[in-house]
Structure 1
C-alpha cells in the first residue's frame, strides 16, 4: 500500500528532525488526524538514542596494521545480504602483516570458522567499546596456543569462546595477530569498532583512523533514478523508474542535461562512488543532502548501524535497480520500516518529491555528497511539474 503524508505534517516532522525540535505531533494515519500521538517520535528515538553520545575517547584509536592505508571496502557498503559493518584494509594480496591493538584492553572473544570472517579476535576496551579484527592468518603466540588447545579439546576446527578479562590483557599498539585470508574472500584485514551494546560505529569517525587516509578526490555521480512511488505517479511520462546519466561539467560538479518531468510521489536515488587518492578501489560516499528550490528535504550519513539491523541493506539500496543490473543506487528517501540510523532523525516517509506541494513549472533539484575527507560534489537538475501534476 502506498502511504502519503499531509503536506503540513511533513513540514513539521522534517523541521523537527533537521533542527532538533521536539513535541507532540499528529499521527499520519487518516483515522487519527484529530488526536495527538507521540508514536512518530518514539520510533525515531528508539533508533537514534543509542548514538546520542559516543561514550568513548574518539582520539584514542590507532590504525590497526602496517600492511597499508588502502581501503578496499568502507562502512555500510553493499553486500548481497547485509550492509558492511566495518572497513576492509588492503594487505597487497599478501598474508602475514602484523595486526596491532587499536586501543588498550583485553582479548574478549576468539572466533574461528572456515567461512565468514575466518579467524577473528574481539577486544574489549575499558569504556566497554569493542574492536574486531578478522580474516586473520593466526593470532599472537599465546592466544594462538590457547585457541589450538581448545580446538583439540573440542575435536573441531570451529571455535567461539568468551575470554576472561585477566587472561589476555593488551596495550594499545601491541601485536595481537597477523593478517590473512581465512574465511570468505581474498587477503585483507576486516576491522570494526562497536559500542558497548555492540552497535557498529563507522571507524572513520575516529580522528587517528580518518587521518591515515589521503583523499583529495571528490565523489563521483554516475546516474540518477526517479521512481514513481504511488499510483498514478510518473517520471518522464512513465510509471516505471527513469534512469538518466549524470554529466560532469567540472571537478565535483555534475548536471542532468535535460529537465525531468515528474508528477505524483517520486523517489530519487543515485548511483555514486568515492575513490581516495591514487587508489583503484571505489566505495560509496559518506553523506548526502538533497534540496528542492534551495530547501533541504533529505539528509543521510553512514555513521552507525544498530546491532542486528545490517540486514536492512535493501532499505538503503534500490532492490529493483540491482535486479535490473543497473548498479547500486542509494535511495535519497526513508522508506517505511527503515530502521537504519543514517538520517539525522528524519521520520519514515521523508524524502520523496511530492508534486502536489510544488507549483507548476520548473524546480531545481540539487544533490550534494561528501566523502569521509569532506570532499564535496554536487549534482543539479531541473524538475518539470505540469499543472495537472498539482492535485
Structure 2
C-alpha cells in the first residue's frame, strides 16, 4: 500500500476545529443562585391553572414591541426558531444543573444555536409572534422536561423592577 508523505508543519499550523454549531455544548456554570427576570413589563398571566381549563407553564409579561429580552442566566442556545406552533419565534437556553429557560413570541432572536450567552445578555426583542394578540414575552423555566413556577426561582431583588405595576401578589 502507498502512504501519503507526512506533513507535520501543516498539521501543527492548523488551528483546532471548533465544535459544529448544531451540537450545543455543556452550559457554563450558573451566574447566580436565582434567575434574572428576562424583561421589564406587566405580568398578564401567571404560572398555573387557568379558569378555562388550560394551564400556563410559565409567565406572560406584556411589554412594548422591541423591548430587550435578556438571558435569565449563563447558558447555551439549545434552540432558536419558529417551528413550535403557537410560540412564534422561540428561544431555548440550556443552563447548568439541568435547567432550561424558554422565551416565546419574540419579534427577533439575536443569538444562534450553539452560542454561549451570559446572564443579563440581550438575546432578543419582545414581539407579537405566534398565537398572541398583543406584544409580550412568554417565559418558562424547566428542570429537565418539567415546568417549574418561575416566581419561586427568580431573583427577588430584580422583581420590583420587572413589573411596572409593582411586585407579584399572592395569587
TM-score (norm 1): 0.32
Equivalent-residue separation in structure 2 for 1:138 and 1:104 (angstroms): 20
Q: Residue 37 of structure 2 aligns with which residue? A: 63
Q: 1:80 to 1:115 in 2, by over 3 A?
A: farther
Q: Which runs of 4+ in 1 moved over 6 A?
A: none
DSSP-derived class of the 2:155 partner: helix
Instruction: Encode CA deviations 1:154-188: one digit per residue, 9 max, x unaligned.
Output: xxxxxxxxx4xxx3111111111111000011211
Match of 2:148 among 201, 205, 222: 201
CA contact (8 A) 1:58 1:207 kept: no
Does the alignment pair 1:131 with 2:107?
Answer: no
> What is the DSSP-based 3-state SS (H/G/I as helix, E as strand, rest coil) of the residue aligned with 1:127?
helix
Equivalent residues in 2 for 1:339-350, closer than 5 Å: none
Per the alignment, residue 137 of structure 2 pairs with 189
Equivalent residue, structure 2, for 1:72: 44
Distance 1:190 1:210, change over 3 A: farther
Q: 1:114 to 1:120 in 2, by over 3 A?
A: closer
Equivalent in the alignment of 2:72: 102
Deviation at 1:277, TM superposition (A): 9.0
Q: Partner of 1:353 in structure 2? A: none
Structure 1: runs of 5+ lacking an equivalent: 1-55, 144-162, 215-275, 286-370, 373-391
Do the aligned residues in 2 keep the contact of 1:180 with 1:188 (CA within 8 Å)? yes
Aligned to 2:9: none
Higher relative contact order (CA 8 A, sep 6+): 2
Q: Give the alignment's Cα RMSD to 1 decimal.
A: 2.9
Task: Quote the Cα distance in structure 2 between the aligned partners of 1:210 and 1:88.
Answer: 20
1:111 equivalent in alignment to 2:81: yes
Shift of 1:65: 1.6
Match of 1:83 in 2: 55
Larger helix proportion of the pair? 1
Query: How high is the TM-score relative to the length of structure 2?
Result: 0.70
CA contact (8 A) 2:60 2:137 kept: yes
State the distance in 2 between where 1:277 and 1:136 align: 20
CA contact (8 A) 2:105 2:126 kept: yes
Alpha-carbon distance between aligned partners in 1 of 2:45 and 2:66, rounded to the nearest angstrom: 20
Whole-angstrom CA distance in 2 between matches of 1:137 and 1:207: 24
Aligned with 1:204: secondary structure? Answer: helix
The CA distance in 2 between the partners of 1:212 and 1:78, in whole Å, is 23
Deviation at 1:60, TM superposition (A): 2.9
User: Deviations 1:264-323 (Å, cap 9, x if unpaired)?
Assistant: xxxxxxxxxxxx9957xxx9x8xxxxxxxxxxxxxxxxxxxxxxxxxxxxxxxxxxxxxx
Decide whether aligned partners of structure 1 residues 138 and 81 sit closer, same or farther in structure 2, where only a CA change above 3 A counts. farther
2:164 and 2:72 mapped to 1: Cα distance?
Answer: 24
Is the CA contact (8 Å cut-off) linking 1:61 and 1:103 kept in structure 2?
yes
